[in-house]
Structure 1
Amino acid sequence: MATSVSQTKSAELEALNADVKRIAQHQAAGRHGPAGEMIDRLLQTYEGHPRLMHYKGLNLILAGQRKEGLALLEQVVSHESADVMAWVDYGAILAQGGDLDAAIEKFQGAVEMAPNYALAQANLGAALVLKEKYGRAIEHLEKALELDGQILDVHTNLAKAYMRTHRFQQAIDVSYKALSIDPKSVAAHIDLAAALFRIERHDAAEHHARRAIELAPSAAEAWLHLGSTLGASGRLEEAADALLKIAAQPPVGITALARLVHMRKTKTGSPELELLTQYAKRLDNLQPEQQVSIHFALGKAFDDLGDYPAAIEHFNAGNKINADLHPFDAKGNIERSERMRELTTPEFMARCGGGGLSDVAPIFICGMPRSGTTLMDQMFSRHADVQAGGELNGVNRALARNASIRAVLEREKDASELSTDDFARLGEDYIAYLHAEGLKAEYVSDKLPGNYLYIGLMAMALPRARFLIMRRHPMDCLFSNYMQHFGQNQPFSSDFGNLASVYNQFDLMAKHWVALLPDRVREVNYEDVVADPEGQMRSILDFVGLEWSDDILDHTASTHQVNTASVAQVRQPIYHSAIARWRRYGPGLQGLALALRDHLSAEELQAAGVTQDM
């Protein structure tokens, strides 16, 4: 029987596909010579075949002829747009060469061409993670996961994107799924250690950090997370040993060294001081973010050693770089605060209040960062009836789920369109967040400092909630912020003027809430707690509706672990050395005192070198 034309073509296509598969195997094994020979031989028969031209371009790049190979790939994607694999491979080559913008363009083209091609979605998501565009990255990585749940890198990239957007439980969930694909995935163990640390599940975080180290003893990030976890657990010497193992290995080592310096007091001759000195000698060779870390660590070290002129020099240098890297919108901050005070009138509160959830009594501990919120939360954590939540993102998450309230805050809708039900739903969403985080007690503490902006809204959403606004002497509080490397997480901290502007708005907000909700909101002075912890805490417990407990005063015994900049401090008894600490720097803080002059006495201004004619 004669062979038909269609049968012949089918056989040829099958043979060509087999050859293409073999070419790919050669390339994967690094056998570029045999791969190139096969491609050239086949092109003699199939001149200009897009898949062969695609593989020829890849082969040239893999063999070191990058320019020629990229030109060939560009030719393929320009004229054969149906070859989605060429778009994906082209993007991968560009990403590996550091051209992320061009890579994203190619991956986006592949996704538009074949939206159900998992690898295109996965690579686009991965590139967006590297560009720190986490919202878009999550969208594409979740789609890739839906299309193919067995791609390990999708899980690990998605975990990183969730982490960067403070979705820690989701990062944990997807990391466990990664381990179900590959129980020996070092990246998944490291991601789990990082995410579990952030929600203060330190035993589990330590386990995964140690497992990553077992699998890859030189994994710097695993040592970093192990040291951080041990430090948060109060095991400071073990933490120091872990961090010192990698402290001389940038870039992760710089982060480890900075954490160690902020974890314990630097002494003359200490290994961390020696390492800092070495890094300082080659500061110009480091990336700007790394320079900032070294400057802040040196500032802390010199502060420990009592060399305050040297300390302020490094704090100033680090903050100057930070200010350039992470600009702060002072005008926007003022507008948000003014809008909140304008909105929350007694009439508005009376009309929209009266609903919400009454079976829970959250304790919001808020105020300026570095105002004593961590100390207060640690003391509450010793009470048998309180489940300490730490710094929770629940208020922001609940607001994100309530478009009507957000629209009113942004002046896109009139306040008259809001009702009691909107705030009842806000409370329900906040409690749902707490439950998802495993916080199900009647009394849960939430110490996210910035919640002070939303006190009126949450008071309507949660009728039994109580709000403690921590206050601390503004020079001590703001200088303590200036001494911390918050980076993009708190950009106002890097400039004296911005610090004072934020403090002014905080001060106005605090006074507004106390006047509006005197039975629900209480100001607490950090200095008063330090001077008379029992007297203050008896009154505070009565205010929130709790019985006295002697354990409150033994906050250093708390099993609640700490992830903030206050790690070493809250492991010590309440101490007085942080009171008036700013005075050691005198005229070095003249700029801050000038910006805060309306909040300072004449004697305090003089101590900071501010004269009457300034």
Structure 2
Amino acid sequence: MANLSEAQLKQLYDQAMKLQAARRHEEALACYEQMIAANPRIAEVHYQVALIFTEAGRPARALPHLQAAAALRPAEPAIWRLWAAAVALIAEPEGEATFLAALKRSTLPPAVKLRLQDRFTPGHKYVPDVPPALRAEVRKVMPLMQAGRFAEAELLAASLLSRHPRSAAAANLLATAQARQGKIAAAVAAYGKAAALDPEDAEPLNNLGQVLMEAGRLTEALEAFRGAVIAAPCMGPALVNLAKAMQRSGKCAAALPYAERAARLDPNDPVPLVTLGNLHTLMRDFDTAESALRRALALAPARPDALALMGQALSRLGRDDEAMQHYDRALALLPDLPLAISGKAGLLQTLGRFDEAEPWFRRAFALDPANGEPYSTFLVSHKVRPGDPILDEMIARFDDPKTSDASRISFGFAIAKALEDLKDHDRVFPYLRAANDLTRKAHPYDIKLRHKRVAQLLRSMDSRDWPGAPVPGTSDAAPIFVTGMPRSGTTLVEQIIASHSTVTGAGEVNILADMAAKLLFPGREALAAADLPPDAIAGLGADYLAALHQRHPEAERLTDKSIQSYMYIGLIKLALPKARIVVVRRDPRDNLLSIYKNKFTDGTHLYSNNLRDLGEYYRSFHEVIEFWRARVPDWFYEVQYENLVANPEAETRKLIAACGLDWEDACLASHRNTRKVDTLSVFQVRQPISKSSLNAWQRYEAHLGEMFEALGDLLPEDGNAPA
């Protein structure tokens, strides 16, 4: 870029600062980047770029700019404080070590250097600067708090603060006394004052975050916990609280470093390990979740929440008897623990024991009526009849302004399902749209990321000559992969195959697709499939089979219903030449509507909450299938859902033959299969095959215009959908 004059640089800087003040960060960054390209030696520009990235929750992007700014202005405390904040928020040992080494060499005033160094010293506790006379008065409040006399404690703390209005300690005490009495607004104001009076004290910020999180003000709670972690990167409770708040906002992967750091700081504290177990369960890494929870239970064997979470992990690993034992142990210790009650209800539901599950669901409603999650899970297997009071209960909760967005989402999906059961179709879509809009607000998504990923994948795969030469050293194992769009009929197809006497249904294993993704995408860009060494491809199959055998050691042959497997059809067949792959297709109008009507696990299927994105996502699915059809059409077998339900016997016989299995009549009675089903189709697959779900889109045609537009030429010929 051509050099800019001093006047031009100043003009660009002023423009960037105005954009930054207006929170138009991308535009501001573009201005700063122009300045850096013209003159990379302006410390203030690097500092502002780092500030934007740190405040936007991308502290790793801030580090190179902070290092540059510190090199240019080594004695500027503000740069080092921001660097310390970024390192605290990254919560990784390497970044911390680099920062501390640079800090040691810096020319900062010794007092500033020592303060920053102390933040990262495990065991160091920040001591607020409280005058001795005030310290004695503060100590008088503590016995009142310990005795539960919070109203008296509030009066005494308020008196202290009126006489010492600059005392953060007095404001913190007042806030705590108010919080214990449920005076949320007053407590928030007092904690905020304490934090403003002493920004280096993490305790008021951590307390503020807890009050805000309990009040359902998650965004504000996150900011408070971030502030606490910046002030005290070695404060275990603040790290755990930040991890929990991020988990509630659906950012489980981003939450992991905080829980991991807390676990490293105190290996004898079970709380970070319980948090890690929950995070890994939500991320579907159940083996790691089990490991973390076993460590927690070794430290605290009678901890009910750890037992209940272990039940969740073991259930997802297919060890249902052990899971039930853990739920029962948790309930023996704490009979009204919602986590254990809803967990046990969900496990019974996946086992098809719907009548046994219902009382547990009802108990969960009674214990926590404002929580919509048990309702939405229950409605998956419960058909609402006229006069059922559950509908009015849910609508009242949905309309209650005190209901959290997370619960309103669950209630919205559940209400829509109940109204469909009652055939009150005109009232369904407003609840569906509200639930999906709230989900999108909580979990923003850019469909361009999907298009970019698919384009990278297909470029990678197109580099190889398919089918090409066989890979040496592969296994003769022949798992059966069932894949396709969610809600396309994959669960039904797996249930049919798993009804064969020689086949065990493993359900949504989600191992091979993850392994293939990591092999192809070690960084941001995909490797060329042609460059993958044969031993890496053979190792992919071997590693997958080892993981599968660990879960199902006695199984003769397994089905794996992992949705994303269709992305890697070529790799799967190279790594496991005898594997069979079944791709399930369904009329996209019914398929995508069914996705839109259902609540998925938080943080998954993020495209599903917007009708236009659904249509575009389906186009990308179609693109991948057509890619493989053009190259290896005989490497997979397609099932059309509509044909299957219209002609069950003929289509089932073709399916079983395509899987390389001998015919068995049991495959025509798949609804009698008692195996565990852990998907949204848990109820449907236990009913005889029917055509009742065909053409469901017609009831809501007036609402689906955006989806039809996105589908474009992929709309079936009978569907001249409105624009």
Question: What range is the shorter-chain TM-score in?
Answer: 0.7 to 0.9
Change (3 A) 1:561 1:297: same
Report the 3-state secondary structure (helix = DSSP H, G, I; strand = E; otherwise coil) of the residue aligned with 1:224.
helix
For the 8 Å contact 1:356–1:428, the answer to whether it is kept is no
For the 8 Å contact 2:476–2:576, the answer to whether it is kept is no
> Are 1:489 and 2:604 an aligned pair?
yes
For the 8 Å contact 1:390–1:446, the answer to whether it is kept is yes
Change (3 A) 1:276 1:436: same
Higher RCO (C-alpha under 8 Å, 6+ residues apart): 1
> Are 1:345 and 2:462 an aligned pair?
yes
**Which residue number in structure 2 is paired with residue 317 of structure 1?**
434
Of 234, 247, 252 in structure 1, the residue corresponding to residue 352 of structure 2 is 234
Aligned pairs, number: 554
For the 8 Å contact 2:582–2:637, the answer to whether it is kept is yes
> Are 1:376 and 2:490 an aligned pair?
no
Q: After TM superposition, give the deviation of residue 582 of structure 1 in Å.
A: 2.2
Measured in 2, the distance between the counterparts of 1:310 and 1:107 equals 46
For the 8 Å contact 1:108–1:124, the answer to whether it is kept is no
Superposed, 1:16-55 pairs within 5 Å as 29-30=146-147
> Are 1:399 and 2:516 an aligned pair?
yes
**Which residue number in structure 1 is paired with residue 646 of structure 2?**
531
> Which has the larger displacement, 344-353 or 164-173?
344-353
Measured in 1, the distance between the counterparts of 2:581 and 2:659 equals 8
> Which has the larger displacement, 459-468 or 209-218?
209-218
For the 8 Å contact 1:352–1:420, the answer to whether it is kept is no
**Where does the alignment leave 5 or more consecutive residues of structure 2 unmatched?**
1-135, 154-166, 179-185, 213-220
Instruction: Spell out, residue by residue over 1:529-574, the C-alpha distance to the aligned partner (whole angstroms, 9 max, x if none).
Output: 2233333233223323222222222222323211211111011111
**Which residue number in structure 2 is paired with residue 447 of structure 1?**
561
For the 8 Å contact 2:613–2:707, the answer to whether it is kept is no
Measured in 1, the distance between the counterparts of 2:284 and 2:324 equals 20
Measured in 1, the distance between the counterparts of 2:253 and 2:301 equals 28
Which one-letter code corresponds to 1:461 in the other structure? A
TM-score of the pair, normalised by structure 1: 0.80
**Which residue number in structure 2 is paired with residue 285 of structure 1?**
402
> Which has the larger displacement, 342-351 or 498-507?
342-351
Superposed, 1:358-437 pairs within 5 Å as 358-399=475-516, 401-402=518-519, 405-407=520-522, 410-411=524-525, 417-437=531-551
Q: After TM superposition, give the deviation of residue 469 of structure 1 in Å.
A: 0.6
Report the 3-state secondary structure (helix = DSSP H, G, I; strand = E; otherwise coil) of the residue aligned with 1:309.
helix
Measured in 2, the distance between the counterparts of 1:27 and 1:180 equals 36
Change (3 A) 1:293 1:397: same
**Where does the alignment leave 5 or more consecutive residues of structure 1 unmatched?**
1-18, 36-52, 79-85, 115-119
For the 8 Å contact 2:395–2:411, the answer to whether it is kept is no
For the 8 Å contact 1:346–1:516, the answer to whether it is kept is no
Measured in 2, the distance between the counterparts of 1:393 and 1:252 equals 32
Superposed, 1:566-577 pairs within 5 Å as 566-577=681-692
Instruction: Spell out, residue by residue over 1:195-231, the C-alpha distance to the aligned partner (whole angstroms, 9 max, x if none).
Output: 2333343333333333333322322222211221121
> Are 1:518 and 2:645 an aligned pair?
no
Report the 3-state secondary structure (helix = DSSP H, G, I; strand = E; otherwise coil) of the residue aligned with 2:401.
helix
**Which residue number in structure 1 is paired with residue 82 of structure 2?**
none
**Which residue number in structure 1 is paired with residue 323 of structure 2?**
205
Measured in 2, the distance between the counterparts of 1:285 and 1:514 equals 52
Q: After TM superposition, give the deviation of residue 351 of structure 1 in Å.
A: 5.7
Which one-letter code corresponds to 1:453 in the other structure? M
Q: After TM superposition, give the deviation of residue 368 of structure 1 in Å.
A: 0.7
Q: After TM superposition, give the deviation of residue 386 of structure 1 in Å.
A: 2.1
Report the 3-state secondary structure (helix = DSSP H, G, I; strand = E; otherwise coil) of the residue aligned with 1:467.
strand
Measured in 1, the distance between the counterparts of 2:676 and 2:516 equals 27
Instruction: Spell out, residue by residue over 1:347-378, the C-alpha distance to the aligned partner (whole angstroms, 9 max, x if none).
Output: 44456852463232121111111111111111
> Are 1:331 and 2:331 an aligned pair?
no
Measured in 1, the distance between the counterparts of 2:685 and 2:143 equals 59
Instruction: Spell out, residue by residue over 1:23-62, the C-alpha distance to the aligned partner (whole angstroms, 9 max, x if none).
Output: 99969945999x9xxxxxxxxxxxxxxxxx9998976765
For the 8 Å contact 2:481–2:560, the answer to whether it is kept is yes
Q: After TM superposition, give the deviation of residue 321 of structure 1 in Å.
A: 2.7
For the 8 Å contact 1:299–1:315, the answer to whether it is kept is yes
TM-score of the pair, normalised by structure 2: 0.68
Of 605, 623, 628 in structure 2, the residue corresponding to residue 508 of structure 1 is 623
> Which has the larger displacement, 195-204 or 293-302?
195-204
**Which residue number in structure 2 is paired with residue 7 of structure 1?**
none
**Which residue number in structure 2 is paired with residue 562 of structure 1?**
677
For the 8 Å contact 2:611–2:706, the answer to whether it is kept is yes
Measured in 2, the distance between the counterparts of 1:234 and 1:414 equals 44
For the 8 Å contact 2:336–2:367, the answer to whether it is kept is no
Report the 3-state secondary structure (helix = DSSP H, G, I; strand = E; otherwise coil) of the residue aligned with 2:634.
coil
Q: After TM superposition, give the deviation of residue 437 of structure 1 in Å.
A: 3.2
Change (3 A) 1:246 1:413: closer
CA RMSD of aligned residues (A): 3.6
For the 8 Å contact 1:293–1:318, the answer to whether it is kept is yes
Change (3 A) 1:76 1:266: closer
**Which residue number in structure 2 is paired with residue 300 of structure 1?**
417
> Are 1:193 and 2:311 an aligned pair?
yes
Which one-letter code corresponds to 2:453 in the other structure? R
Superposed, 1:266-277 pairs within 5 Å as 266-277=384-395
Measured in 1, the distance between the counterparts of 2:226 and 2:170 equals 22
Of 456, 474, 478 in structure 2, the residue corresponding to residue 357 of structure 1 is 474
Q: After TM superposition, give the deviation of residue 577 of structure 1 in Å.
A: 0.9
Instruction: Spell out, residue by residue over 1:98-135, the C-alpha distance to the aligned partner (whole angstroms, 9 max, x if none).
Output: 44434344435544xx6xxxxx3564244223223534
Measured in 2, the distance between the counterparts of 1:601 and 1:54 equals 67
